[in-house]
């Protein structure tokens, strides 16, 4: 298969590219190590990526929550306009590839528990942009321009490297930093909870989304991935016995306000019935991260 991956140098994208080993992968991002460097905010670049030879598109590139909130114009260009440019390129090419879109539980707002029937009500521009992308995916699929699938992702743990602009970035840092021997000041209260899933399960979900037959999905092409509930204190408790770094809680009012309105747990009967994987516990998520980190350093 010939497969396009946008956001290929990112956290999820780079892991997905590795998992696609054996296929012909066209990997693009705005920075190395992606072999094709370019900015999806420019329509000509976005549209140049789509060719009739593509079998599938994994569209992961985005400006995440905090960044899209701080820079509305750039968020619209990257999260909405670039998505439409890619979809338009598929339409104009007269080709109908699988099109797998990374959406987010940011499409919800102000609810603790989310299921398949929970209405969308985004409270961040990022969530609104992702929701508009989902609507486009459904419509372009209905018209036969693509064979679309959109995955609403919980917080994906544990992100390596430095922090990004995601409002939920603390949930990775509170695990990663003390395990790496660095002290960390957590910007939310210990009892702050969020819905999360491991990187391994998300990559497996993207691969499964591409393979699943269109007739099993029907007209509703957006799928909600299951996310377990975990608090900041639980995350710290899992690692503090083996960590050399320390954690101090110093809530930031702006971050706390956003997290208080974010979903705390997710259960999707539909995704479960369709065979999408899910994480079992925060302990499992940390164990997977440690195994991946050890393998990388080994």
Would the pLDDT of 220 be above 90? Answer: yes
Q: 105 or 166, which is more confident?
A: 105
Q: Which residue has the tokens 């590139």?
A: 61
Section 43-69 average pLDDT: 90
Inter-axis angle of helices 282-297 and 232-239, nearest 10: 50
pLDDT of 296 over the 70 cut: no
Say what the pLDDT of residue 67 is: 84
- Whether 58 and 18 have beta carbons less than 8 Å apart is answered as no
126 is catalytic: yes
Average pLDDT over residues 29-49: 88
Mean pLDDT within 143-149: 97
* Structure confidence at residue 158 as a pLDDT band (50, 70, 90): very high
Identify any residues that bridge with 37 across adjacent strands, giving them in sequence order: 29
Provide the Cα torsion 2, 19, 144, 118; round to 10°.
Answer: -170
| Closest listed residue to residue 102, CA positions, set 76, 68, 64 | 64
Angle (nearest 5°) at CA 201 between 285 and 240: 10
* Model confidence at 65: pLDDT above 80: no
> What pLDDT does residue 298 have?
47
For the chain, percent of residues with pLDDT exceeding 90: 79
- Nearest-angstrom CA–CA distance, 162 and 145: 38
Residue 295 has pLDDT above 70, yes or no: no
Which CATH number characterizes residue 293's domain? 3.40.50.720
Find out whether 171 and 196 touch, Cβ atoms under 8 Å. Answer: yes
pLDDT digit string, tens, across residues 233-256: 999 999 999 999 999 999 999 999
d(CA 62, CA 124): 14
What do you get for the CA distance between the two ends of the chain, in Å? Answer: 31
Q: How far is Cα 172 from Cα 165, in angstroms, rounded to an integer? A: 12
DSSP string, 189-226: -TT-EEEEEEHHHHHHHHHHHHHS-HHHHTT--EEEPP
Helix, strand, or coil (residue 175): helix
pLDDT band at 164 (very low <50, low <70, confident <90, very high): low
Q: Is the pLDDT of residue 280 over 60?
A: yes
Look at residue 167 in the predicted model and tell me its pLDDT: 72
Which residues are registered as beta bridge partners of 57? Answer: 4, 99
* For the ranges 108-117, 163-172, 186-195, the one whose mean pLDDT is highest: 186-195
Which residues constitute the domain of residue 46? 2-297
Q: Which tops the pLDDT comparison, 253 or 167?
A: 253
Other C-beta atoms closer than 10 Å to the C-beta of 234 total 16
Cross-strand pairs, 185: 248
Mean pLDDT of the chain: 92
Comparing CA positions, the residue from 130, 191, 196, 139 lying closest to residue 168 is 196
Is the pTM higher than 0.85?
A: yes
How many distinct structural domains can be found in the chain?
1
Count other C-beta atoms under 10 Å from residue 185's C-beta: 14
Tell me the C-alpha distance between 195 and 227, whole Å.
5
Angle value at C-alpha 198, between 25 and 114, nearest 5 degrees: 110
Q: Which position among 126, 140, 145, 289 bears the catalytic label?
A: 126
């Amino acid at each position: 298969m010939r497969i396009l991956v946008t956001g290929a140098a990112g956290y999820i994208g780079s892991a997905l590219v590795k998992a696609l080993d054996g296929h012909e992968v066209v990997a693009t991002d705005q920075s190395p190590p992606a072999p094709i460097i370019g900015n999806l905010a420019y329509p000509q670049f976005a549209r140049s990526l789509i060719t009739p030879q593509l079998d599938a598109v994994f569209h992961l590139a985005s400006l995440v929550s905090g960044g899209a909130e701080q820079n509305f114009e750039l968020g619209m260009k990257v999260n909405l306009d670039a998505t439409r440019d890619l979809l338009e390129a598929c339409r104009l090419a007269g080709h109908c590839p699988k099109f797998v879109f990374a959406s987010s539980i940011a499409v919800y707002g102000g609810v603790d528990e989310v299921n398949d029937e929970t209405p969308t009500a985004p409270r961040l521009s990022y969530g609104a942009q992702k929701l508009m992308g989902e609507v486009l995916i459904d419509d372009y699929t209905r018209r036969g321009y693509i064979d679309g699938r959109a995955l609403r992702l919980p917080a994906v743990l544990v992100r390596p490297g430095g922090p990004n602009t995601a409002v939920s970035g603390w949930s990775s840092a509170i695990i990663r930093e003390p395990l790496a021997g660095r002290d960390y000041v957590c910007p939310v209260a210990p009892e702050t909870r969020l819905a999360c899933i491991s990187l391994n399960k998300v990559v497996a979900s993207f691969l499964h989304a591409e393979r699943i037959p269109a007739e099993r999905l029907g007209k509703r092409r957006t799928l909600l991935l299951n996310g377990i509930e975990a608090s900041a204190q639980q995350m710290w408790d899992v690692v503090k016995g083996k960590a050399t770094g320390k954690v101090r809680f110093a809530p930031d009012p702006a971050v706390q306000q956003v997290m208080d309105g974010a979903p705390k747990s997710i259960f999707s009967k539909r995704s479960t019935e369709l065979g999408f994987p899910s994480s079992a516990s925060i302990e499992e998520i940390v164990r997977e991260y440690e195994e991946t980190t050890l393998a990388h350093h080994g």
